[in-house]
């Protein structure tokens, strides 16, 4: 397996952990009454934090940018591109399929898939590059 393919597989696995985090935090924020859109901002940020931790340790291990905080802010900025696509797809599903069983899970999953390629490119070429 090539280095890039291995990174894609590990990035996708980190994405699954991010998806679980995203959905879990979204359900918690909905239970707290935050609503579909505000709750999603919090759940997205939690998922970005989790995927950053995994990606920096496993997907792109050994590629450091110096400052961990600079790396975090670069990672968050890179994830915002895919995050906008993700949020748009999520919002469309929420509007179009109101009442669908497991709507938060379905909407987050579709949004995550929609933004994944943009996020991988951002992580590989903007955050964890050499």
* Mean pLDDT, rounded, for 96-101: 92
Q: C-alpha angle 106/111/116, rounded to 5°?
A: 130
Quick: pLDDT tens for 32-78: 999 999 999 999 999 999 999 999 999 998 876 678 999 999 999 99
Measured distance CA(83)–CA(22) in Å, rounded = 12
Measured distance CA(119)–CA(5) in Å, rounded = 15
120 pLDDT above the threshold of 80: yes
* Mean pLDDT, rounded, for 17-25: 97
pLDDT value of residue 65:
63
Q: C-alpha angle 19/22/24, rounded to 5°?
A: 105
pLDDT value of residue 61:
87
96 pLDDT above the threshold of 70: yes
1 pLDDT above the threshold of 90: no
Rounded to two decimals, what is the model's pTM? 0.91
pLDDT value of residue 63:
76
* Mean pLDDT, rounded, for 96-104: 93
Q: What CA dihedral angle connects 59, 62, 123 and 10, to 10 degrees?
A: 0
């Amino acid at each position: 397996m090539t280095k890039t393919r291995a990174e894609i597989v590990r990035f996708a696995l980190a994405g699954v952990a991010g998806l679980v985090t995203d959905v879990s935090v979204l359900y918690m924020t909905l239970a707290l009454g935050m609503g579909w859109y505000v709750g999603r901002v919090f759940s997205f940020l939690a998922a970005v934090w989790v995927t950053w931790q995994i990606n920096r340790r496993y997907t792109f291990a050994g590629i450091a940018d110096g400052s961990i905080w600079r790396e975090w802010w670069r990672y968050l900025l890179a994830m915002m591109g895919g995050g906008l696509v993700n949020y748009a797809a999520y919002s469309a599903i929420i509007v179009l399929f109101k009442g669908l069983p497991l709507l938060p899970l379905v909407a987050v999953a579709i949004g995550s898939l929609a933004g994944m390629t943009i996020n991988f490119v951002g992580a590989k070429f903007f955050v964890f590059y050499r």
